[in-house]
Chains A and B, each alone.
Chain A
Amino acid sequence: MIKNNDKISSNQVAILLFTTMVGAGILSLPADVSKEVGPNGLLAILGGGLASLFFARLILWISSKFPTETFSEYASKLVTKPVAVVLSIVLIFYLSVFVSLDVRIFGEVLKIYLLPSTPIETIIITMLFASAYLVRYGLEPIARMSEILFPIMVIPLLLLFLPALSDVDLTNFLPFMRVSLMKFLKGVFVTTYSFVGFELLYMVFPYVIDQEKLKKSVNASIISTTLFYMYICFFVIGIFGYKETKEQLWPFLTLIKSINFPVFFIENVEGIVMAIWTFTIFTSIYSFHYFAVLVLSKLIKAREHSYLVLPLIPPMYLMALIPDSIVTLYKYANLVSQYLSIFFISFLPIILAFFVKLKGLGDKK
C-alpha cells in the first residue's frame, strides 16, 4: 500500500479551514448576534469575520517564520520550553473540548430532531469512532474528505433557502446601526464561537506544498465563511426578525421547519438539512480531532500519530457527557469560546508575534 505523503495543497487548506469553521456555531449564531446587536447581526458577523481574518493572518505570519515546524516546536523557541509544553497541553485540551462540544451539540440536535429515544452516548461514540477512522489515515485524506464534503455541505444549503427569498422581510434589518459601539463589539465577540477553527493554522503550515499561496487561501476561506454565515443569517433574521430569532435555541433549524418549500415535492426539508448538518459537524470534529492528535504526537515526539487517535477518544467522550443538560452545555460552550478561544485566537498570536519581533527569530530572507 502506498503511504500517504501527508502534504496538502493551499487550496485544500482553504477548504479545510472553511469546513472546520462551519460547524456547530451555525445553529446558534443568528440567535447570539440578534441578542446583542438586534437587527445588525449581519454587520456583527462581518466584523467577526474581519477580526478573524486579521488574527488568522497573524497566526499564519508567525508560523511562516518557522516553515518546517509545528506549534509546540516553534513555541518552545519563542517562549521557552516549559511554557511551550504547557501551551501545547492546553491546546490539546482546547481542541479536544471542541470535539466534545461539537459532538455533544450534534447529539442533542439529533436526539431532538431524529432519534428521541436513542441514548446520546451511542450517538456520541459512533461519531467519535467515525472521526477516528478517518483521522488515523492522516492529514491528506482529511483534506480530501473536506474537499468532497464541501460542495455537499454548501450547495444544498445555498439552494435550499432560495425559495424562501420571498419570505424575507428586508425591514427586519432596520434600523441600521443604532446600537452602541460597546454592544456592537459584544456582538462581534459572540461570533467567535462560530469562527473557531482557524487556529489550525498554528499547526498546518509545514504540511503545505505551496506555502507561498497560503495567504490567499486563508483570505478566501475566512471571507467565504463570513459570507456563508451572513447568507444564513440573512435568511434567518430576514424571515423571523431579530426579536423572534433571539428567542430561539437553534433559529437555523427552526427556520428550516417554518418555511414553505413550494418548489419541492418534499414538504419537510429537515431530513436533507439534518443529513447535511451531520457532514458539517463531522468535518469540524475530525479536523479538531486530528490536530489535537497532531499536537500531542509532536509534544511527545511520537513517530506515528495514528496510535494516539484512539486513546484520545475516551477523554473526549467523557468530556462530552459532562454537561447535564443542554443549558449547561451552552454555558460551557460560552465559557470555552470566551476564554480559551479568545486566548488562542487573539492573545496568543499577539504574544507570539511580539516574541518573534523581539527575538528576531525565524528565517530572514
Chain B
Amino acid sequence: MGIFDKFFKKKDRKKEEKGRPSSPSLKENLNYIKEKLKDCDDVIYRDLWVGENQEFNLAVVFIDGLIDKALVNDHVIHSLLLDSRQADPSIEKIKGNLYKVIKKGTISGGDIKEVNDLDKCILSILSGDTALLFDGSPDIVIISSKGWEKRSISPPEAETVIRGARDGFTETIRVNTAMVRRRIRDPNLKIKQIQIGERTHTDVAVLYMEDIVDKNVLNKVMERLKNIKIDGIFESGYIEQLIEEDWHSPFPQVLSTERPDKVAASLLEGRVAILTDNTPFALILPTTLATLFQSAEDYYERWMISSLLRVLRFLAALVALTAPAVYIAFTAYHPGLIPTKLTLYVAATRQGIPFPAFFEALIMEATFELLREAGVRLPAPIGQTIGIVGGLIIGQAAVQAGIVSPLMVIVVAVTAVASFAIPSYSAAIAFRMLRFVFMILAAIFGLYGIMLGLIMVLTHLVVLKSFGVPYLSPFVEIHLSDLADTLIRAPLMYFKERPEILNTPDKRKMVDLREEKIESLEEDRRGRDDKK
C-alpha cells in the first residue's frame, strides 16, 4: 500500500495554498510579479500607454522564447497601440469598463481568459501565455500565445511499422491531443487536462471515451493521478511508475506508445490514455500481458500473417526468457534429453572451453547487454560500429580463441533477436532481466530450476493486476471472444465486441457483415420469389 498512504498523509498535512488576489493597481501587481520572477531575465515586461492620449496604462508580460512572437506583436501589442485608436471608442465609453472593451473588442488573439489571481497569472506566464495587466482593474487578461520552437511531427522511432500511419507523438501535448482528436471525431472523446508536479506544473491529459470506458477504471486513474505529489514530471515514465499497482514488478503494467493510432484504437476498446507534456510517449491502461504483444500493424495487415506474427512473438518471449537457461540445463545437467547427434556435436564444440556452461552463458549474455547499452548511448554512426565490432569481431574471436563454444554464440544471438521481436520495449526489458534469474536457476537445478522459475514468474503474473484487470487476462478468467486477439489475431469479422475484460458499458464494436449478407441474400431471394 505504501506510496499512496504517504501521499494521503501529505495531503492532510499541507493544505492547498491560496493564491494572492490581484489588486486594481497596475504598479502593485507588476511589482508582485517582478518580485516573484526576480532574476528571471527571460521575462519581458512591456508597458503600454493606450488610447488617443495615452491615458490608459497597460502592461504586457510574457516570457521570451515561449510565446509566439508574431501573435503577441500583431494581435496584442499592435491591436492595443494602433487598432484601438482607429476604433475610436470615446473616452467616456471606455472609462470604467476598459477591461471589457479591450478583452472583447481589441485583442484579436484567439484564446483569451481572465484571472484575478496573481499566482495563477504567473503560472500562465510561465506556461507561455501572455498576461495583460490594466491599471485600475484587478482583472488580468491571459492571452494564450504558446509558441515555442518544437519538433515537427516525425515517424515514431521505437515503433516503426511497414503499413500504418507515419506520424508519431511529439513533445507538445496540444499537438498530441489534436492527433488523437483527428482520428476520433466523436463528442464522447473526452480530454481531461490536469497539471501534475508541484514545481513543473506539467500538463497531463487523460483521454477516454465517455460512453465506452469503465467508470471504475477511470475513477481509479483520476484518483491516482490526483494523488501524485511530486516536484516534477519530466516523462510519462514518472506517471507510469507512480500509478501502477506493483512497483516491485519487472513487468510494465502500463503500456507506453508513440503512436496516435494505437492510442485511438485503445480508446475505442475502452481503455484510458494519458498524454504528458514534454514527452512523445503516451500511456495506455489498463494493460495486460497480451496487449504488450500487440503491434498496431497487426490490425492493418491480413489476419493470417498477423496471427503468425503473434505466435512468433510469444515464442520469442519464451526464447528470450529461457534460451540460455535451457542451454545450461541441457549441457550441464541433462544431456540425455537432447538427440544423440546433437549431444555429440555440443560435446565436441565444448571441447577445451575453459568455462562451465553457466559462466560461459553469463559472460556472453553480459557482453551482449553491454554492447546493446553502448550502442544505444553512442551516436548512431558509432553505434553501428559497436554492433559490428561486438557482434562479428568479439563473437568470432571468442569462438576462435576457444573461450566460448559456437553454439553459445548462436544461443546468445537468437536470444537477442528474440528479445527485440517483442513490440513493447519495456516488456522486452522484463524478459531480458528475468533471463539472468533463469540462468542462475538452471545452473542450480537444471530443467527443474527453469520450471521453478516459470512457476515463480507465473505466480507473480497471476497475482498482478493492472487497474483491476488481471494482468494475464484474457488467458485467465477466460472470455472466449477475447482470446481471438491474443495468441492469434482472428479476422476482423470476429471482433464484434469490445474486450470483455475491460467491462465496457457499450459492447458492440461492429455489426457482423455476414449476418447482413445473409439477410440481404434472403431479401434477394424473396424478391425473386415475389416476381414469380
Show the binding face of A for B, using Cβ within 8 Å.
1-2, 4, 9, 11-12, 110, 114-115, 118, 123, 126-127, 130, 133-134, 137, 141, 143-145, 147-149, 265-268, 270-271, 274-275, 278-279, 282
Contact = CB atoms under 8 A, between A and B. Distances in A.
A143 B470 CA distance: 12
B259 interface: no
B242 to A, nearest CB: 14
Contact of B445 (A9, A126, A266, A271): A126
16 contacts: A1-B246, A2-B465, A12-B477, A115-B446, A127-B452, A137-B463, A141-B462, A141-B463, A144-B462, A144-B472, A144-B477, A145-B458, A148-B475, A267-B340, A271-B330, A279-B451
A11 B473 CA distance: 14
B interface, how many residues as a size bin?
20 to 34
Contacts of A147: 475-478
B337 A268 contact: yes
Contact of B447 (A1, A143, A275): A275
Given A278-B448, A282-B455, A2 B468 contact: yes
Interface in B444-486: 445-448, 450-452, 455-456, 458-459, 461-463, 465, 468, 470, 472, 475-478
Contacts of A270: 336-337
B333 interface: yes
A72 B71 CA distance: 78
B447 A145 contact: no
B370 interface: no
A306 to B, nearest CB: 12
A114 B330 CA distance: 10
Contacts of A126: 445, 452
B476 to A, nearest CB: 4
Contacts of A123: 448
A275 B449 CA distance: 10
A211 B126 CA distance: 59
In the complex, the 10 A-B pairs of residues with the closest C-beta atoms, listed nearest first: A271-B337, A144-B476, A278-B451, A147-B476, A144-B462, A134-B459, A141-B462, A141-B463, A137-B463, A145-B462
B245 A130 contact: no
Nearest to B453: A130
B338 interface: yes
B40 interface: no
B302 interface: no
Interface of B: 1, 245-246, 330, 333-334, 336-340, 445-448, 450-452, 455-456, 458-459, 461-463, 465, 468, 470, 472, 475-478
Given A2-B465, A11-B478, A148-B475, A130 B459 contact: yes
Contacts of B246: 1
Given A114-B447, A274-B447, A148 B458 contact: yes
B253 to A, nearest CB: 11
A1 B339 contact: no
A144 B456 CA distance: 14
A2 B445 contact: no
Given A114-B448, A144-B472, 19 more contacts: A110-B448, A114-B333, A115-B333, A115-B445, A115-B448, A123-B448, A134-B462, A144-B470, A144-B477, A148-B462, A148-B476, A268-B336, A268-B339, A270-B337, A271-B330, A274-B447, A278-B448, A279-B451, A282-B455
A4 B337 CA distance: 41
Contacts of A118: 445
Contacts of B477: 9, 12, 144, 147
A148 B462 CA distance: 8
A279 B452 CA distance: 9
A271 B334 contact: yes
A155 to B, nearest CB: 12
Nearest to A270: B337
Contacts of B330: 271
Contacts of B465: 2, 4
Contact of B339 (A134, A144, A266): A266
A2 B455 CA distance: 22
A279 B457 CA distance: 13
A270 B448 CA distance: 13
A136 B340 CA distance: 43
A108 to B, nearest CB: 13
A349 to B, nearest CB: 30
B74 to A, nearest CB: 53
Contacts of A149: 458
A130 B1 contact: no
Contact of A133 (B337, B340, B456, B476): B456
Which of B245, B333, B455, B465: most chain A CB closer than 10 A? B455
A275 B475 CA distance: 20
A118 B334 CA distance: 13
Contacts of B476: 143-144, 147-148
Contacts of B475: 147-148
Contacts of A114: 333-334, 446-448
Given A267-B339, A268-B337, A130 B462 contact: no
A275 B452 CA distance: 10
Nearest to A276: B451
B245 to A, nearest CB: 5
Given A133-B456, A148-B462, A2 B245 contact: yes
Contacts of B245: 1-2
Which of B458, B462, B468: most chain A CB closer than 10 A? B462
Nearest to A265: B339
Given A1-B245, A12-B477, A141 B451 contact: no
Contact of B456 (A115, A130, A137, A267): A130
Which of B336, B339, B459, B478: most chain A CB closer than 10 A? B459
B96 to A, nearest CB: 58
Contact of A130 (B339, B447, B450, B452): B452
A267 B339 CA distance: 6
Nearest to A278: B451
A242 B394 CA distance: 58
Contacts of B451: 275, 278-279
A12 B336 CA distance: 38
Contacts of A266: 337-339
A193 B461 CA distance: 31
B472 A148 contact: yes
A11 B447 CA distance: 32
Contacts of B340: 267
A11 B445 CA distance: 35
Contacts of A275: 447, 450-451
Nearest to A8: B477
Which of A114, A130, A133, A278: most chain B CB closer than 10 A? A114
Contacts of A148: 458, 461-462, 472, 475-476
A267 B338 CA distance: 7
Contacts of A145: 458-459, 462
A148 B475 CA distance: 6
Nearest to B341: A267
A147 B474 CA distance: 10
A268 B341 CA distance: 12
A123 B333 CA distance: 15
B8 to A, nearest CB: 14
A144 to B, nearest CB: 4
